[in-house]
Amino acid sequence: MSLADRAVLVTGGGTGIGRCIAKAFAEAGARVAVSGRRAAPLEEVARELGERGCAVPGDLSRRGESARMVEAASSALGGLDVLVNNAGAFPRAPLAELSDADLWSAFETNAIGPLALIRDALPALRARPGVVINIGSTVARIAKPGVSAYSASKLALEQATRCLAVELGPLGIRVNCVAPGMTSTEMIEPLRARPEVMREYLAATPMGRAGEPEDVSRVVLAVASDDFAWVTGQVIQCSGGFQL
């Protein structure tokens, strides 16, 4: 799949799914900026991408960071064609055990940050025109204990996807959401330590396995490509059929 010379910003691009997405875009010919809170992993990814990559450290939960990140990425890449909102916060605990900081972090990182980034990227995206891909989650629509803040914030991101598809479509900007199921990254390591949780998950997954970051990156690249030029406002499940 060719995405030659597309300029792409991937948030949460230093590890896990974001890292895999960034590398996949670069392999498809794109120029890629990776952002995130930790500078060291971002610099490592940028080195791996070579001349096609750059690092833009930033924390989306802080006000004003989105505009700075868009400016830095657009300047380094010569514009912006694709924005992938992958950065996420995953507070996993019963509500009674979540602090105010946990609650705010979930919504600031998973919903408010992406909205601010899309807003500040609009001038660049409408000049191309552009593509926005929000990374959601299957648990946005599944009731599970211990993930109330995470699920609610990801459902907010889904609805923002649909609203923005309607709002930005006349500008030529497509907005979609890719919703992974349980994917083998650092985020699920605590769950892997609980065999009963993994058995329950696999029993509810028709494909019979956890996802890999590459499973998600292939879908993201397809949605970003011109093959999906007539698709907007959709939530595309990438979960092996989890809880169908």
Q: Which residues are catalytic?
A: 150
Q: Which residue has the tokens 């950065």?
A: 87
3-state secondary structure of 219: helix
* Separation of alpha carbons 35 and 138, rounded Å: 24
Q: List the alpha helices (DSSP H) in 84-234.
A: 100-107, 113-126, 148-168, 189-192, 195-203, 213-224
Query: How many residues appear in the chain?
Result: 244
CA angle 71, 131, 86 (to 5 degrees): 70
* Separation of alpha carbons 180 and 203, rounded Å: 17
On whether the CB atoms of residues 201 and 210 are closer than 8 A, the answer is: yes
- Kindly give, in sequence order, each residue whose CB lies less than 8 Å from that of residue 207, ignoring residues fewer than 6 positions away: 240, 241
